[in-house]
Amino acid sequence: MSFTTWITFVIAATIIAISPGSGAVLSMSHGLSYGVRKTSGTILGLQAGLLLVLFIAGAGVGSLLLASEIAFNVVKTVGALYLIYLGLSQWRARVSVDADAPAAQAVAVAPSLRRRVLTGFLTNATNPKGIIFMVAVLPQFIARGAPVLPQLLILAATMCTIDLIVMHSYAFLASSMQRFFRDPRAVRKQNRFFGGLLMAVGTALFFVKRGAAATA
């Protein structure tokens, strides 16, 4: 892989990471609700899911997935339903009041670290749009005639590093707004806003077409 190819991939990966999607919504939601430190677990899960999608695409499994309408629709439906479930859970998230604070303040109850990591992983791993994009774009950065695995490892490390920075930036920006969401009513509105966004993203996945990706 040439340096020029790698730089081009860096630019493409940055654009992909910055583009709003389910991962960005989840990072902002958890950043606003739980703060940056606890959101790091969620973001690590996102990277694990991203790695899975990247290696699925790199191994050629993604192309097989796009070639089978049944398999593609199964993945699409699972991903959509999971995001809708995630949004509904966020919508109904429990809010507690911190009695030790100077004035009673609402506090969103954070899930366990294991659950936050799993939530991030499943969000990216079940996203058919991610698989579609990787299948369409990734082969363009892999040199033919050279070993594939070392190139995949370089691309994976590059993409995850960029995505870690961008997702933490989203979480930090959201967490800086926490002071405006202290009373229970405001926290519930915040939960419903991000829950609604996740449900909207999940619903939009039902309209992702296999044919358009296959010809991209």
Q: How do the domains of the chain map onto residue ranges?
A: 3-205
Whether the predicted pLDDT of 171 surpasses 70? yes
Q: How many CB atoms lie within 10 A of CB 145?
A: 4
What is d(CA 1, CA 81) in angstroms, rounded to the nearest whole number? Answer: 38
What is d(CA 12, CA 53) in angstroms, rounded to the nearest whole number? Answer: 16
Residue that wins the pLDDT comparison between 99 and 163: 163
Per residue in 43-81, pLDDT tens? 999 999 999 988 887 776 656 666 677 777 777 788 778
Residue that wins the pLDDT comparison between 59 and 211: 59
- The pLDDT score that the predictor gives to residue 110 is 75
Whether the predicted pLDDT of 23 surpasses 70? yes
Give, in degrees to the nearest 5, the angle at Cα 20 between 18 and 25.
Answer: 115
Per residue in 182-192, pLDDT tens? 666 766 777 78
Per the CB < 8 A criterion, the answer to whether 21 and 201 are in contact is yes
Q: Report how far Cα 9 is from the mean position of its chain's Cα atoms.
A: 19
- The pLDDT score that the predictor gives to residue 180 is 66
Per the prediction, the chain carries an average pLDDT of 79
Least confident of 63-67, 125-129, 176-180, 186-190: 63-67
Look at the chain and count its residues.
216
Q: Please, what sign has the CA dihedral across residues 28, 129, 123, 134?
A: negative
Per the CB < 8 A criterion, the answer to whether 95 and 192 are in contact is no
- The pLDDT score that the predictor gives to residue 99 is 47
In this structure, what is the dihedral angle of CA atoms 42, 46, 48, 54, given to the nearest 10 degrees? Answer: 180
Whether the predicted pLDDT of 135 surpasses 90? no
Whether the predicted pLDDT of 167 surpasses 90? yes
Whether the predicted pLDDT of 101 surpasses 50? no
